[in-house]
Structure 1
């Protein structure tokens, strides 16, 4: 079965982006959150903008199951 990227409904802090990414990649969500916060404070790219864009672009987990 092909994996699909989605925003997690159960493993979320803000928008569920990192929880869904953790499910997709198999990496622990806490580790991704720590890396995202560190990257945000170190000014790595435009992580804040990317996170906000993913909230609007990547579908929510509940929306994926209704199709």
Structure 2
């Protein structure tokens, strides 16, 4: 059995595929992942800038899924 790996999505993407990759990994919709992400980042850090920085870091750390 193949082990699931967290990777950026190549077909379920808007910008970098980070949110689509999270959705595919956890079996959730991209919309639900975005809502959770906004609530957590704004609730904990309270800044849109932090939300952007977290997204960029996740995009760099997650490798793209191989076709």
Q: Same fold (TM over 0.5)?
A: yes
TM-score using structure 2 length: 0.72
Deviation at 1:60, TM superposition (A): 0.7
Query: How many residue pairs were aligned?
Result: 62
The RMSD of aligned alpha carbons is: 2.0
Q: Which residue of 1 aligns with 2:29?
A: 28
Task: State the match for 1:2 in structure 2.
Answer: 3
Q: Distance in 1 between matches of 2:55 and 2:10?
A: 16
Q: Which runs of 5+ in 2 are unaligned?
A: none
* Greater Cα shift, 51-60 or 28-37: 28-37
Q: Which contiguous aligned blocks of 4+ residues in structure 1 show a shift greater than 4 angstroms?
A: 37-40
Question: Which residue matches 1:54?
Answer: 58
